[in-house]
Chains A and B, each alone.
Chain A
Amino acid sequence: MNSNNFDVIVVGAGPAGITAALLLARKGLKVTLLERGEFPGSKNMFGGAVFGRVLHDIIPEYWTKAPFERFISRKMITMLAEDSAVSLDFHSAAFKKPPYNGFVVQRTSFDRWYAQEAVKAGAVLLTQTVADDIIREGSQVVGVMARRPQGELRAKVVIAADGAVSLLAKKAGLRREFTPNQFSLGVKEVVQLPAGALEERLGLTGDEGMSNEFLGRMGGGLHGGAFIYTNRDCLSLGVVAQAHSLKARKATIYDALDQFKRHPAVAPLLEGGRFLEYSAHLIPEAGINMVPQLFTGGMMVAGDAAGLVLAGGVFLEGVNFAIAAGKAAAETAIQAFEKGSFDQAAMAEYEVRLKESFVLQDIDRFKTAIPMLLNERLYEVYPSFVCRTLENWFMVDGTGHPKLAGMVKRLLGEDMGLWQMTKDGYQFGRAMLW
């Protein structure tokens, strides 16, 4: 077999691609993993927490091996108004025990470690290698063109795990144009805190960590949210904004980030902090509405490349979905090799597997969250309404305490009617509750 011939080519060494390459290599298949970055993770960014139940199935007790920052024992959700905030603060004993619920990781170390697991299993990792196009024979995909001398690489199966802006899925004709209503942009800063400050400010001990997801109108009127995650001794914090609102508002995401950092609920956490890094990445957020055709003869699309992210405003899960999709793609390819058939019908098994797993089930279940996320009152009205209501209610100013109902009615009158709120309440309920 020629050195440019493989059983499977996986494009993109993120969680989806690495998982696929690892599982295929374990089965003894000849698999190569192409990554455009200097090393796996060098281009990657997320909030971030890895919810690793799916990883535990692949690498048992992965937390004893993976480079993680902290496990999440305290999970917060915060509604943000201009200069006030309301939080839900959840502490869980179960989250502190194996198999743990989630870990904060940094992608440069996590993806790098995970890719090495695939290499140890026998996958051939080619870094600094961009896949520019797919190679077809008739309707069958038979390889990729890499941007390098003798770049023609051939395989029976190609798995495109090339992330949110999947040029390969597009070139294969599996997805349509990218549009602003399919994506949110996230920017993140890593800020080093003085020794001991993180534990002290957030009430954490040992390896305990915290995540906080913020919802509200971001600076400049951008629709989206913000996040804070605890690393070992630095914080990751960032702002997410829907691409269509970036376009419509002509506001910049970095100004929104600076405004977030100055918010009275956030600024004290950052005091004495030293800036370490600024990064940016898109999130495919349109759920089922943007999932492309997932396969064609000889090819499957996995992870962000297929829009397989669960976004619900105050939660964002992509890594676990990418791992599960990579696993389904690997299992499909393994079965195809057993049967010796790689055509469209053989690849169709991939979609069946995704539908049987939480991947397409959750994404389908939460499709009702999409209209909620696009409802401007979720950002423009409700967070500040809740904050103002509580501010008024808690304020002891000698005028006597009003009953909540009367006050809500008065404050609501300033923004909109009760009927609108009832309708939105139904929409939010449909999105999250039933």
Chain B
Amino acid sequence: MVDISQRLKFSRYRLDRQAHIEVDYVKCRRCTHRACLTACPAQCYLAHAENGVLFNYEGCLECGTCYVICDLGALKWNYPKGGCGVNYRFA
């Protein structure tokens, strides 16, 4: 599998101390597809034995894909605080 974190290192992030997306793992535990694991383009969701998934917000590209595909309403999805998150150089 491609390691996306290597590519994300080329972008400048300003990290908020607080995660901008909150995951309700109680819902993830009974999720049958866990599509966020493969759908997130930044590999923010990793497989986790107990919770099903483990979310890391640091590399998030703020695209909204997880929000759009999660059908259990497990995500409290938002944009990071103003000025925080990813800063592109080109895009």
Contacts and interface: CB of A to CB of B under 8 A. Distances in A.
A183 B88 contact: no
B44 to A, nearest CB: 11
Nearest to A178: B68
Nearest to B62: A43
B88 A42 contact: yes
A252 B88 contact: no
B63 A42 contact: no
A142 to B, nearest CB: 22
Contact of A246 (B11, B61, B65, B89): B65
Contact of A277 (B1, B11, B67): B11
Interface residues of A, number: 52
A37 interface: yes
A106 B43 CA distance: 25
A62 to B, nearest CB: 20
A127 B42 contact: no
A252 B38 contact: yes
B89 A167 contact: no
Taking residues whose C-beta sits less than 8 angstroms from the other chain, chain B's interface range is: 35 or more
Nearest to A185: B65
Contacts of B69: 180, 243, 246-247
Contacts of B86: 43, 279
Nearest to B11: A277
A179 interface: yes
Contacts of A275: 7, 10
B14 A276 contact: no
B89 A252 contact: no
Contacts of A189: 7
A65 interface: no
Contacts of B85: 43
Contacts of B67: 165, 178
Dominant SS at the B interface?
A: loop
A254 B41 CA distance: 7
Contact of A167 (B14, B63, B79): B79
Interface string B27-52: 00000010100110111000000000
Contacts of A188: 91
A276 B10 CA distance: 7
Contact of B87 (A38, A179, A185, A253): A38
A67 to B, nearest CB: 12
Given A37-B87, A108-B88, A148-B82, A255 B39 contact: no
Contacts of B8: 278
Given A43-B86, A252-B38, A167 B78 contact: yes
Given A42-B87, A278-B4, A282-B63, A251 B79 contact: no
Given A246-B38, A247-B35, A44 B91 contact: yes
Given A254-B4, A280-B41, A280-B63, A128 B82 contact: yes
A339 interface: no
B34 to A, nearest CB: 9
B91 A277 contact: yes
A278 B1 contact: no
B87 A180 contact: no
B2 A255 contact: yes
Contact of A282 (B7, B65, B79): B65
A129 B38 CA distance: 31
Interface in B55-70: 61-65, 67-69
B58 to A, nearest CB: 15
26 contacts: A36-B80, A36-B82, A37-B83, A38-B87, A45-B91, A106-B91, A108-B91, A127-B83, A128-B83, A130-B80, A164-B64, A167-B78, A185-B39, A187-B41, A189-B7, A243-B65, A246-B38, A246-B39, A251-B38, A252-B1, A278-B8, A279-B88, A279-B91, A280-B61, A281-B61, A282-B65
The 5 closest A-B pairs by CB, nearest first: A128-B83, A128-B82, A165-B64, A45-B91, A278-B7
Given A182-B68, A279-B11, 14 more contacts: A36-B80, A106-B90, A107-B88, A127-B82, A128-B83, A165-B63, A178-B68, A185-B39, A189-B7, A276-B10, A276-B89, A279-B86, A279-B91, A282-B64
Interface of B: 1-2, 4, 7-8, 10-11, 14, 33, 35, 38-39, 41-43, 61-65, 67-69, 78-83, 85-91
